[in-house]
């Protein structure tokens, strides 16, 4: 629910569930890569489509030395390169007026005094009633400093329906284990109310991810089958083509488990597995997602090898070109055992999912970029069309593709034309891009508007972050207690190590070919 | 080579004449033929279809314009299109039909995103059009009637009523109506009589959605305290043919802000005025038609000033599809906003996906009708 209320009958029926409210977006790290690639293009697209509040301004706040004019050039270049819609020169001059910049050090109290002063000027110029959204697009180590300084400078307003709102957006990673996540959350909580905190995971802003709920609870045919009685197993794959690239510094200390599983993939899992919410309310939906995290069976040292495989990419080919192995990447230690791939088998110990394995894999330098959730249904009985034990029928699979082609497909068995009774699997495909012919907004566009509207449905709550870390910590602890300096390797451009194949094949199942 | 339509990703072929009884088999043949010609039969051609869209036009000239809009519509909202023309000249008999298929390219094949069936009739034969439509609809899908005639729908008589019976939704456009007051009254009565059975939508309503959003935000109590309560004067200047849209805009404000229409009169050939009342507050809306321009709103001024307190905001339509706040006439900071006026095809495709009655629109229509009732012709 929004944390401020006011009565405006003219907003009734306007095609937005909750109207984004007039505000200033303050981007900490306003000169950084995330801002240039994602945030500024997102607000530009929203402005172009008339989605932004009429009274809106953005202020980049960072250490880099820039003035407003230079910042607008910086924004323009980012938008030209990364925006979903091309930059329209006719509109640019109007848009750029809402962009501002303030140079300052995040740990300098004087910078926050200047920030407060600058915000007042901007709000006066743009008719903004003091509402502020602080976006922390900064390294995790700086979160505490920025949050405490904001509070000390009086820039955090209390929750009161009659006063302007202050909201803060925090990027992942929230900590690097349970203890550090708790520390970050404690810092946030000391300075902001939980209702004011938006922990962003951009995966949750993707169209297909949102469509998971629509598909599950907007169709009568899926939900009756959505349980252990009918589902054989679930596979979640998040494959990246790229290597570690320029993120070696962060990635080598994080690895795939922290980088992908703890946040993106566990959040996807909760949406796939949650019970039906009774209302589209942020807290109700987040409660239901939290229930799934509470039911995750812990992976312990006793059953570890049957549930976890980690690996690292070695040298190989990417689109036919030689690429180095992970340890030869710039910025990576030559004896690193950081996993660039992880495969997991996990269970959700509740009534609906008892005994259904969820196989998860994610890695870098895979053959292609692909994120998918596949629900494999149980096979039909081995009689009639499925009587041939040597050639069993392919089971039905419902696959939700998250990227790059957002959509869903259903594999069904059908008779081939002809006099003989031959059954063949056919895939029915639905793709957003080709079916609707219009672009979906980028995840950041949707999520930024949600924050301006005060809708936290697609953001992570404190308990969710901490529960997922608690579960992930079990795995980290086993690794930490292991003395081995060996990690399985897979060739760059392949689908992962043999060990991962064995993990699923030991259950008489196979990874899907994507 | 198959022509590509404008900026959409859709390709199509020229319509092919066909007997009405063979429309369905003709469409299947076009589908198979396309597969053979473009891929030797190896690629998959799938069909995506979300709706039936019946489009009714009075004249071949209107149909010609609509023809250009079908590709962008089915690009966004795959559909079976029935384009019916009421006053045309078939080469033989009262009716004549043709068919065409629209495709979009997929990575590994093609997708049929539109099946188009044109049926033209003589004026006398137009009462047969609903029967053709009835037999050509795809089952299990919602049906929308787009009344593209420039007459208010109920004045279309039996053809309209029968086509409307087939539809879950009726789309019309009041821009260009010759007598807006009469049109509003007829539509209000008809909508009221439908009693929640169908969605009725005026494209003009979606056309000024950007204005509604902007107005709601700049007059929001957070941004402009007391503006909604103290508003006393509104000035609107519009281009030719945009009076019905302006009427609806005024109706929307009146319905949402609980204003009662007191009277209205024509001041000159190009100017009229309404007066409203709420509690003890009088509100005046003065409307002026500009001598030239597009059927759009060009100037909009809200005044909630009081002695000792300035409260005005004035918008002007600027070049390059922008709306600006005029500094000299406003008590709020000047700014400019992107104000792209969507193509009609975009409005239609967006509305096709709408599945609920829009009570705010219907209330606006009722208020527009109340304004008609007090208007001195």
A94·B78 Cβ contact <8 A: no
Which range among A46-55, A339-348, A363-372, A384-393 shows the weakest confidence by mean pLDDT? A384-393
Residues B135 and B230 in one domain: no
pLDDT digits (tens, 9 = 90+) for B29-54: 888 777 777 666 566 667 778 889 99
In chain A, the residue whose alpha carbon lies closest to the alpha carbon of B358 is A13
Q: What pLDDT, on a 0 to 100 scale, did the predictor assign at position A417?
A: 67
Cis peptide leading into residue A404 (ω within 30°): yes
Contact A76, A87 (CB under 8 A): yes
Annotated catalytic sites of A, by residue?
264
In chain A, the residue whose alpha carbon lies closest to the alpha carbon of B346 is A438
Residues B71 and B214 in one domain: no
Q: What pLDDT, on a 0 to 100 scale, did the predictor assign at position B40?
A: 65
pLDDT tier at A438 (50, 70, 90 boundaries)? low
Euclidean distance between CA atoms B142 and B164, whole angstroms:
13
Residues B244 and B325 in one domain: yes
Write out chain A residues lying below 8 Å of B322, CB-based. 90-91, 94
Write out chain B residues lying below 8 Å of A91, CB-based. 320-322, 338
Residues B73 and B147 in one domain: yes
B319·A19 Cβ contact <8 A: no
In a domain, B134, yes or no: yes
- With 50 as the cut, is the pLDDT of residue B4 above it? no
pLDDT digits (tens, 9 = 90+) for B135-146: 888 877 789 999
Write out chain A residues lying below 8 Å of B106, CB-based. 431, 434
Residues B90 and B162 in one domain: yes
Q: Does A10 reach chain B within 8 Å, measured CB to CB?
A: yes
Which range among A1-10, A219-228, A406-415, B152-161 shows the weakest confidence by mean pLDDT? A1-10
Residues B148 and B295 in one domain: no
Residues B43 and B90 in one domain: yes
Euclidean distance between CA atoms A44 and B210, whole angstroms:
17
The average pLDDT across A259-287 equals: 92
In a domain, B193, yes or no: no
- Taking Cα atoms as reference points, which of A514, A26, A456 lies closest to residue A204? A456
Write out chain B residues lying below 8 Å of A21, CB-based. 222
A55·B223 Cβ contact <8 A: yes
The average pLDDT across A263-283 equals: 92
- With 60 as the cut, is the pLDDT of residue B7 above it? no
- Helix (H) or strand (E) holding A252, with range, is helix A248-256
In chain A, the residue whose alpha carbon lies closest to the alpha carbon of B354 is A15
- With 60 as the cut, is the pLDDT of residue A25 above it? yes
In a domain, B335, yes or no: yes
In a domain, B182, yes or no: no
pLDDT tier at A463 (50, 70, 90 boundaries)? very high
In a domain, B184, yes or no: no
Q: What pLDDT, on a 0 to 100 scale, did the predictor assign at position B3?
A: 45
In chain B, the residue whose alpha carbon lies closest to the alpha carbon of A430 is B48
Q: Does A126 reach chain B within 8 Å, measured CB to CB?
A: yes
Residues B160 and B301 in one domain: no
Residues B357 and B224 in one domain: yes
The average pLDDT across A308-323 equals: 88
pLDDT tier at A1 (50, 70, 90 boundaries)? very low
Q: What pLDDT, on a 0 to 100 scale, did the predictor assign at position B49?
A: 81
pLDDT tier at A172 (50, 70, 90 boundaries)? confident
* Strand partners of residue B299: B237, B316
Tell which wins on pLDDT, B175 or B248: B248
- Kindly tell me the burial class for residue A214, based on how many C-beta atoms sit within 10 Å of its own C-beta (0-12, 13-18, 19 or more): exposed
- Kindly tell me the burial class for residue A136, based on how many C-beta atoms sit within 10 Å of its own C-beta (0-12, 13-18, 19 or more): buried
- With 50 as the cut, is the pLDDT of residue A5 above it? no
Residues B287 and B164 in one domain: no
C-alpha distance from B171 to closest chain A C-alpha (Å): 18
Contact A410, A434 (CB under 8 A): no
- With 90 as the cut, is the pLDDT of residue B113 above it? no
A14·B209 Cβ contact <8 A: yes
pLDDT digits (tens, 9 = 90+) for A106-145: 999 999 999 999 999 999 988 898 999 999 999 888 999 9
Share of chain A above pLDDT 90, in %: 65
Write out chain A residues lying below 8 Å of B210, CB-based. 50
The average pLDDT across B181-195 equals: 81
> The domain containing residue B289 runs over which residues?
207-376
Mean pLDDT score across all residues of chain A:
90
Distances (CA, A) of B337 to B53, B295, B374: 33, 19, 35
Domain boundary pick from B153, B172, B191: B172
DSSP, res A247 = G
Q: What pLDDT, on a 0 to 100 scale, did the predictor assign at position B335?
A: 84
In a domain, B338, yes or no: yes
pLDDT digits (tens, 9 = 90+) for A56-97: 999 999 999 999 999 999 999 999 999 999 998 888 988 999
Specify the CATH number for the domain of residue B328.
3.30.360
Domain boundary pick from B172, B193, B225: B172
Domain boundary pick from B154, B172, B190: B172
A55·B320 Cβ contact <8 A: no
In a domain, B202, yes or no: no
In a domain, B112, yes or no: yes
A 77-116: CB under 8 A from B = 90-91, 94-95, 97-98
The average pLDDT across B2-15 equals: 67
pLDDT tier at A21 (50, 70, 90 boundaries)? confident
Tell which wins on pLDDT, A387 or A216: A216
Q: What pLDDT, on a 0 to 100 scale, did the predictor assign at position A4?
A: 40
The average pLDDT across A197-208 equals: 87
C-alpha distance from B313 to closest chain A C-alpha (Å): 12
Q: What pLDDT, on a 0 to 100 scale, did the predictor assign at position A435?
A: 64
Write out chain A residues lying below 8 Å of B324, CB-based. 94
Tell which wins on pLDDT, B31 or B276: B276
- Which of A437, A439, A514 best probes binding to B when mutated, by most B CB atoms within 10 angstroms? A437
Residues B149 and B297 in one domain: no
Q: In what order do the strands lie in the sheet with A489-491?
A: A423-431, A407-415, A397-403, A370-377, A231-239, A357-363, A341-347, A308-314, A489-491
Residues B268 and B322 in one domain: yes
Euclidean distance between CA atoms A58 and A37, whole angstroms:
16
B104·A437 Cβ contact <8 A: yes
B221·A6 Cβ contact <8 A: yes
| Number of separate domains in chain B | 2
pLDDT digits (tens, 9 = 90+) for B256-265: 999 999 999 9
């Amino acid at each position: 629910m929004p944390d401020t209320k006011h009565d405006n009958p003219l907003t009734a029926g306007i095609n937005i569930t909750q109207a984004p409210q007039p505000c200033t977006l303050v981007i900490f790290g306003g000169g950084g890569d995330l801002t240039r690639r994602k945030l500024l293009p997102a607000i530009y697209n929203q402005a172009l489509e008339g989605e932004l509040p009429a009274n809106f301004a953005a202020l980049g706040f960072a250490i880099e030395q820039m003035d407003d004019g230079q910042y607008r050039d910086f924004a323009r270049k980012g938008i030209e390169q990364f925006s979903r819609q091309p930059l329209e020169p006719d509109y640019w001059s109007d848009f750029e007026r809402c962009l501002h910049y303030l140079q300052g050090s995040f740990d300098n109290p004087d910078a926050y005094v200047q920030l407060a002063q600058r915000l007042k000027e901007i709000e006066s110029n743009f008719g903004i009633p003091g509402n502020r959204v602080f976006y922390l697009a900064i390294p995790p180590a700086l979160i505490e400093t920025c949050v405490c300084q904001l509070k000390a400078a009086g820039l955090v307003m209390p929750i009161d329906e009659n006063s302007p709102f202050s909201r803060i957006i925090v990027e992942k990673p929230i900590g690097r284990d349970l203890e550090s996540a708790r520390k970050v959350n404690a810092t946030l909580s000391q300075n902001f109310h939980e209702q004011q905190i938006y922990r962003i995971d951009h995966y949750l802003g993707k169209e297909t991810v949102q469509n998971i709920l629509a598909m599950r609870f907007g169709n009568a045919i899926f939900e009756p089958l959505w349980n252990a009685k009918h589902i054989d197993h679930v596979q979640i794959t998040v494959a990246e083509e790229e290597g570690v690239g320029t993120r070696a510094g962060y990635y080598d200390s994080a690895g795939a488990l922290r980088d992908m599983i703890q946040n993106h993939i566990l959040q996807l899992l909760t949406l796939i597995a949650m019970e039906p919410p009774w209302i589209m309310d942020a807290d109700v939906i987040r409660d239901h997602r939290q229930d799934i995290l509470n039911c995750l069976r812990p992976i312990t040292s006793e059953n570890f090898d049957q549930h976890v495989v980690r690996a690292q990419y070695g040298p190989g080919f990417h689109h036919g070109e030689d690429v180095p192995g992970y340890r030869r990447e710039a910025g990576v230690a030559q004896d690193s055992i950081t996993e660039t791939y992880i495969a997991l088998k996990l269970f959700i110990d509740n009534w609906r999912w008892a005994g259904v394995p969820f196989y998860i894999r994610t890695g870098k330098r895979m053959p292609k970029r692909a994120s998918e959730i596949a629900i494999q249904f149980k096979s039909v009985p081995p009689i009639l069309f499925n009587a041939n034990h040597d050639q069993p029928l392919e089971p039905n699979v419902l696959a939700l593709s998250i990227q790059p082609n957002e959509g869903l497909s259903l594999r069904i068995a059908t008779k081939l034309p002809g006099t003989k009774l031959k059954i063949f699997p056919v895939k029915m495909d639905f793709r957003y891009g080709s079916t609707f012919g219009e672009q979906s907004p980028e995840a950041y566009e949707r999520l930024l508007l949600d924050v301006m509207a005060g809708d936290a449905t697609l953001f992570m709550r404190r308990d969710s972050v901490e529960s997922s870390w608690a579960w992930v910590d079990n795995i980290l602890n086993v690794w930490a207690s292991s003395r081995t300096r060996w990690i399985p390797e897979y060739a760059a451009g392949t689908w992962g190590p043999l060990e991962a194949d064995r993990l699923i094949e030991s259950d008489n199942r196979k990874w899907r070919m994507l | 080579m198959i022509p590509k339509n404008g900026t959409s990703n859709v390709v199509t072929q020229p319509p092919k004449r066909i007997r009405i009884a063979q429309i369905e088999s003709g469409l299947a043949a076009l589908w198979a033929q396309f597969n053979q010609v473009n891929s030797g039969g190896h690629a998959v051609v799938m069909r995506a279809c979300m709706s039936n869209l019946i489009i009714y036009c009075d004249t071949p000239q209107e149909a010609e314009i609509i023809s250009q809009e079908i590709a962008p519509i089915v690009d966004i909202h795959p559909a079976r299109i029935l384009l019916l023309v009421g006053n045309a000249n078939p080469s033989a008999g009262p009716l004549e039909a043709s068919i065409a298929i629209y495709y979009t390219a997929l990575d590994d094949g093609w997708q049929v995103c539109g099946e188009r069936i044109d049926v033209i009739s003589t004026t006398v034969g137009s009462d047969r059009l609903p029967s053709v439509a009835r037999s050509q609809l795809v089952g299990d899908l919602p049906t929308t009637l787009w009344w593209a005639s420039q007459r208010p729908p109920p004045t279309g008589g039996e053809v309209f009523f029968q086509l409307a019976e087939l539809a879950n939704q009726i789309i019309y456009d009041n821009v260009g109506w010759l007598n807006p007051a009469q049109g509003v009254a007829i539509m209000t009565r008809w909508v009221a009589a439908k009693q929640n059975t169908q969605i009725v939508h005026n494209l003009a309503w979606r056309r000024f959605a950007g204005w509604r959003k902007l107005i709601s935000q700049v007059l929001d109590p957070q941004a402009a305290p007391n503006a909604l309560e103290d508003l006393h004067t509104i000035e609107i200047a519009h281009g030719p043919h945009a009076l019905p849209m302006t009427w609806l805009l005024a109706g929307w404000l009146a319905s949402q802000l609980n204003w009662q229409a007191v009277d209205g009169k024509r001041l000159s050939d190009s100017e009229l005025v309404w007066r409203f009342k709420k509690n003890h507050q009088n509100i005046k809306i003065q409307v002026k038609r500009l001598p030239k321009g597009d059927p759009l709103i060009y100037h909009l001024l809200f005044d909630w000033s009081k002695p000792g307190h300035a409260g005005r905001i004035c918008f002007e339509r600027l070049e390059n599809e922008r709306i600006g706040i005029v500094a000299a006439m406003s008590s709020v900071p000047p700014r400019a906003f992107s104000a792209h006026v969507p193509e009609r095809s975009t409005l239609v495709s967006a509305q096709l996906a709408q599945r609920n009655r829009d009570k705010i629109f219907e209330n606006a229509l009722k208020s527009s009708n109340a304004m008609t009732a007090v208007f001195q012709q």
